[in-house]
Each structure stands twice: as structure tokens, then as C-alpha cells.
Structure 1
Amino acid sequence: MSALQEYKCPCCGGAIAFDSGTQKMKCPFCDTEFEVETLEAYAGEQASGREDEMNWETAAGGAWQEGEAEGLRTYVCQSCGGEIVGDENTAAASCPFCGNPVVMTGQFSGALKPDYIIPFKMDKKAAKEALQKHYGGKRLLPKVFRDQNHIDEIKGIYVPFWLFDAEAEANIRYKATSVRTWSDSSYQYKETSYYLVTRGGEIGFERVPVDGSSKMPDDLMESIEPFLFSDAVDFKTAYLAGYLADKYDVDEEQSIERANARIKQSTEKAFADTVRNYTSVVPEAGSVKLRGGKAAYALYPVWMLNTTWNGKNYTFAMNGQTGKLVGDLPVDKGAARKWTLGLTALCSAAAYGIIWLLHLARIL
């Protein structure tokens, strides 16, 4: 004998049953009524859930041609383990990630050849100016840090990125409500209507970037986006002259999880933006399926700036193409306390003023 179908109320989630008086399905908890056909269609939609399907063709990068990488050298940081690539004339005295000394270890070998590179557009002077601008308007930045700060190290470095292309097909179901209120001389009324909203379609993605360096936090690299691929050119070792290049240690396969997360998040947001004119919208279920997923390997330009203050190292990253700079700054604890006390006093004064006005209104 097959199990009986149990229906849940779409509004409150309670068990729902057929009401012989109304000839409808009625929830005993919230008293909401449904046509039998409507509830069966809703239950069928819930049961037809799909799972994500995100597969990729992994064949990014290419092999170095004979003699092409002869002028490249590798440098290894003895502190953080970072492996950096430069040309034979590059002076790499310190690590661009942690500021500690690096050691030249010899001829470059092993990594895939990049497909593309975006050459540096911003020079070292622009990086210094961007950092000074970053200090501007920071009320809680210690004055000594701003006035006496010196930059320990500025390094231009090409960061490895995997660029993912794909067509995403999505099917997403939402639970939406529409609330209507009105009143008469005796009562106030509130009517809540519930809707099952579905969205399905396709959206294309080109060159979704995921950095291939474990030493570069994903959120830091994503904070200096976007990189404009219109400036990208086919990779040539000549572009590395005078700069460093981070040797990737997170390969294409390992980067897929981050690419999937970025693509899924963007897809869900794009579809959610089309569900309008409701009081509330909550996603219930959905799936994303990728087609034609493939990746390319590129080097993107980043300036790394390191400075030390009160024994702590502060690192800033600047997009070497657009000039966008991010990085944490120290906080003047004394100024922060004064700011907090001043804000508290202002709120207290405002509250006192409101109380005094209300008291005055009662007198009048």
C-alpha cells in the first residue's frame, strides 16, 4: 500500500487537510484556504527540484616553447613560501606578500604558459599617490601614521588568474507575498496573499576571474576588480621585464569551486532582480546548470605596497590597470573613544531635546 500524500500549508508550513464544508483544502493553523488543484500544482512544483550541474572543460594555458622561458628566474620567500617569477635582471630583494627577504633559486620551470596578460598601466608613482589618497578623509587614522608613514616596499607583480566562461541555465522558485491593509471606523484590516513565483532562463558569463595564488586572499583580489579585458594581449615574456610574476599554486581544477560560487551568486541575483512588485520575496529552491564551461590562464597587474607601523605590517593592493587601491589602516584608539563619546553625547542631547519638547507640548 502506498503512503498517503501529506500536504503542507504554503503560508505557515502546517499540515493541511480537506474541509468538507468549503470543499477546499484548509489549514487549521492559519485558516488559509486553497483550491485542491492549486495545492496539488504547488506540491508537484516542490517535488520537481533540480540539482546544480556545474562541469568544466579544463585545458587552460599552454606549454612553453623551446627557449621561451630561458630568461626567467624564480625567487622563493623563506618566510611565507611564496614562489615568484622575474626576468634575469629583476632585483627582488623582498617578498611582495610579507615583506621578508627572498632568495633567487634558479631557472624558471614547471608552470603553464599564460594565454593572456594585461600590461601595467599605472606606474610606481601612481601607486604612491593612490596610497596617500587612501589616507584622505580617514578621521580615525593616527596622525603620526599619516605624517611619518614611509613605504617599506612597492612591488609590481603579475598575479595569476583563471578566467572562466560559461552559459548558465537556471530554474529558481520563490515564495512571495503581497500585503494589503485598510481600515474602517471600527477595525483595521490586513490581507496577505501568497504566490509561487518561478523564473527560468539562461545567462552568459565571460572571463569570471579567480586568482590562482594562495598567498593572495580572494576577497582582496576581488576588491580591486574589475580588470578590463579589453586591454589584454597575447602573453609574451617581454611584458615581465622589470616586474615580478607570482607563480600559481592553485591550479584550474582547484579554482573551479570559487568560480562556481561566483557564477551561481551572480545568476541568482540576476534572476531575483526580475521578481518585482511583491511585499516580500524568499527563494525556496533552484538549480544552476552550466554549459560550455571552459577557462583561460592570464596574468593581471597588481602593485603591492607594504608599510610598517608600531611593529605591525600593513599591506595594500592596487589594480595596476585602473588604479583602484584597497587595504586596512590602523585606528587611533584615543580618537575612536572621543568619537564614540561625542556621538553618544549628541544622541543623548537630541533625546533630551525631544523629551523637553514633548513636556512643553503638554504644558501648552
Structure 2
Amino acid sequence: MPTQVTNYQCPSCTGPLHYSGASGKLECDYCGSSYTVAEIEALYKEKEEKAAEAFETADTTAQSGDDSSAWDTASMSSDWGADAAGMKTYSCPSCGAELICDANTAATACPYCGNPTVVPGQFAGALRPDYVLPFKLSREDAINALRRHYKNKPFLPRAFSAQNQIEKIQGVYVPFWMFDGEADGHARYDATRSRVFRTGDWEVTKTDHFEICRDGSMPFEKVPVDASSRMPDAHMDSIEPYDYAELKPFSSAYLPGFLADKYDVPVADCESRADERCRKTVLDALGRTVSGYDTYIPRAQDVRLRRGKVHYALLPVWMLSTRWNGKSFLFAMNGQTG
């Protein structure tokens, strides 16, 4: 049985709503009406709760294996069952079509009627994010940013810029774990300072050697680590920073018009990346305090972490897929700050 989902439709004309980063409201492309997130939240609260209950019921039923018999799949590919296990079927409330999506998909669009579709059950209970950072930049902003990116690459072949075609562009809310904590760092450096002077016919270089010690503490707040196995880590790291002052308490009303995934990488698997980022930041900060020397080399370094809270958030990313000379290229842009 297909799982129930929610379509965000315009209360005036029932057209599909999408969240606009420019206005900060949900807008209807058909009648031009716009609504605040709070207005849509109040209107759809009961619908989302029912959809979430249906999601959990369908999931439980699927796992219980109530059917007394099963289709004979012996002649099918051996991977068929594994692939099916990673998919879910949803029913579009607008047109009744059945949508087959990845098990981690939380927001998408119906390919038949075009309505933005949200799966409230993907964000129920422990799966519910603490925060969402709404999109501020549009599809056109992402395309223009990619073109500017080309211009700033002097060694990029001209043919690449001229002939490279954007195959797909999609706004995605990517799941992130965000770590709070403090770090105490200690570092010891061997440093040198040299001066050159003349003695008679001789040019003499005198080098003084120093042992430098540095200690310091640094608080960390919301260190982000992406929690989606489908997103390249290097791309997600490269598009920081985000302005976390604009984080909002999570509401699925921000999702229409964009794709969204729930996390599929648990906190425990992301901790090492967060720890390494904190350690590197502390040691870099200590190193920047060593000045007035010609050279310095770290000889001993130690960082002790005091781990705090972990938050779950959805952050906005524009993903652009392009093709040139028979090869595909993937670009990512911060959906808030560019």
C-alpha cells in the first residue's frame, strides 16, 4: 500500500505552492497568492499528523510480512530484492499517482502533476530535524554564480565555458549533524630568527633558536558534517560558511519546491570528521600566534575535546550537473550565502 504524503496547495486556487527564498513566503505560481510559513503550518498541521501516522502504519505493516505468499522472483536478477528494499512507494494526494522514491527521500515533486510533495513521516519522532535553514538564493542565482565561477578560472578551456551545458539543477535540503563543544590545545614549536652582518671581509649569518609554547581554549558551536551518503563530502565542505543566525525551528512548510533527504549516516559515523575539524582549527589558531620569527616548526601538538550537544539540521544546497566533451561535472552552491 502506498504511503501517504502531503501536497502543499494554494488555499485560494489549489495550485502548487513553493517556498521563495526572496520573499520568505510560500507562493503560488498560478494565482500569485503568498502565505507566511506560520499560516501554512497552521493550515496543514492536522494533514501532516495524519500523513505521518499513515507512514508509520504502512512501514510497520510492510515489515510484519502479513502476506501468506510471495511472488516467485527466482528468475529475476539477484539484486532486485536489495534494490526494492531501499525504495518506498508514495501516493500523490493531488492526482493519485504512485511515486517510487529512495527510502531517504523526504521532499520531492510528482512527475505527473508537478505538485511539490512532502513525506511528513520521514521527519517524525527522532527523525525530526531541530532546525532548517531556508533557501535565500534562487535557481537563477545559482546559474549566474556558476558562470562567474567559470570566468574566475584562467586555465579553464574556453570551450568548456562556451559549450558546457547544464543538464540538471536542483535545490536540495541536505541533512547535517551540527556539533557543539570546546577544545583545549597545546603546541610546542622550534623557531628561528636570523640576521646577517659583516665582519671584515666576511659575511656572517647568526641564527638564534627558540622553543615556543602555546596553550589555548576555543569554543565550537554548530560544526557541520553532512549526514547524507549521496552527497560528496568535499562539495559540502567547500560551500561553507552558512549564517546560522538565520536558522529556523524545523517546519516542513519550508520544503515545497525543493528536494530533501533525511539522514542516512548516523551521528557516530560523523563524529571523527567533526573532531578532526575542531582539532585542526585549534592548532591553526595556535600557529597564527607565533610571529616575529623567520621559521617555526611544530614539534608537539595535543588537543583535548570536551564534546557537547549535537543538533540535526537541513541546510540549503543548489546542485548543478553539467556535461562537456562526454563527461559529467557536478557543482554545488550554498543556497543561502552563495
Distance 2:132 2:55 in 1: 16
Alpha-carbon distance in structure 1 between the residues aligned to 2:277 and 2:217:
16
Quote the residue 1:136 is aligned against. Answer: 151
1:173 aligns with 2:188: yes
| CA deviation vs aligned residue, 1:207-251 (integer Å, no higher than 9, x gap) | 111111222222211111101101110001111112111232221
User: TM-score, structure 2 length as denominator?
Assistant: 0.64
Whole-Å separation in 1 of the counterparts to 2:332 and 2:242: 13
Give the root-mean-square deviation of aligned CA atoms. Answer: 3.2
Bigger strand fraction: 2
Which of 98, 110, 118 is equivalent to 1:91?
110
Q: Which runs of 5+ in 1 are unaligned?
A: 1-64, 94-103, 324-364
Q: Which residue of 2 aligns with 1:203?
A: 218
Match of 2:175 in 1: 160
- Give the match's secondary structure for 2:176: strand
- 1:200 CA displacement: 1.2
Letter in 1 for 2:265: V
Q: Residue 184 of structure 1 is aligned with which of 195, 199, 206?
A: 199
Partner of 2:142: 127
Q: Structure 1 length as normaliser, TM-score?
A: 0.60
CA distance in 2, matches of 1:227, 1:291: 24
Deviations 1:116-141 (CA, angstroms, capped at 9, x unpaired): 01011111122222222223254554
CA distance in 1: counterparts of 2:294 and 2:155, whole angstroms: 40
Deviations 1:166-219 (A, max 9, x none): 111112111112223211223222222222211112111111111112222222
Q: Is the 8 A contact 1:75 1:85 kept in 2?
A: no
Instruction: Provide the rounded CA distance (Å) in 2 between the counterparts of 1:92 and 1:230.
Output: 35
Distance in 1, matches of 2:267 and 2:111, equals 27
Does 2:252 correspond to 1:237? yes
Gaps of 5+ in 2: 1-47, 57-84, 89-100, 113-117
Q: Which runs of 4+ in 1 moved over 3 A?
A: 65-77, 81-84, 104-111, 137-150
Q: 1:105 to 1:243 in 2, by over 3 A?
A: closer
CA gap 1:191/1:92 in 2 versus in 1, 3 angstroms: farther
C-alpha spacing 1:147/1:198, structure 2 compared with 1 (3 Å): closer
1:161, 1:212 within 8 Å by CA — same for their partners in 2? yes
CA distance in 2, matches of 1:281, 1:261: 23
Q: What is the DSSP-based 3-state SS (H/G/I as helix, E as strand, rest coil) of the residue aligned with 1:151?
A: strand
2:145 partner letter: A
**Map of 2:329 onto structure 1:** 314
Q: Is the radius of gyration larger for structure 1 or structure 2?
A: 1
1:288 equivalenced with 2:303 (yes/no)? yes
Q: Distance in 1 between matches of 2:179 and 2:300?
A: 25
1:277 aligns to what? 292
- Aligned residue runs from structure 1 range 1-364, under 5 A: 67=50, 69=52, 83-87=103-107, 90-91=109-110, 108=122, 112-323=127-338
Q: Which amino acid aligns with 1:204?
A: P
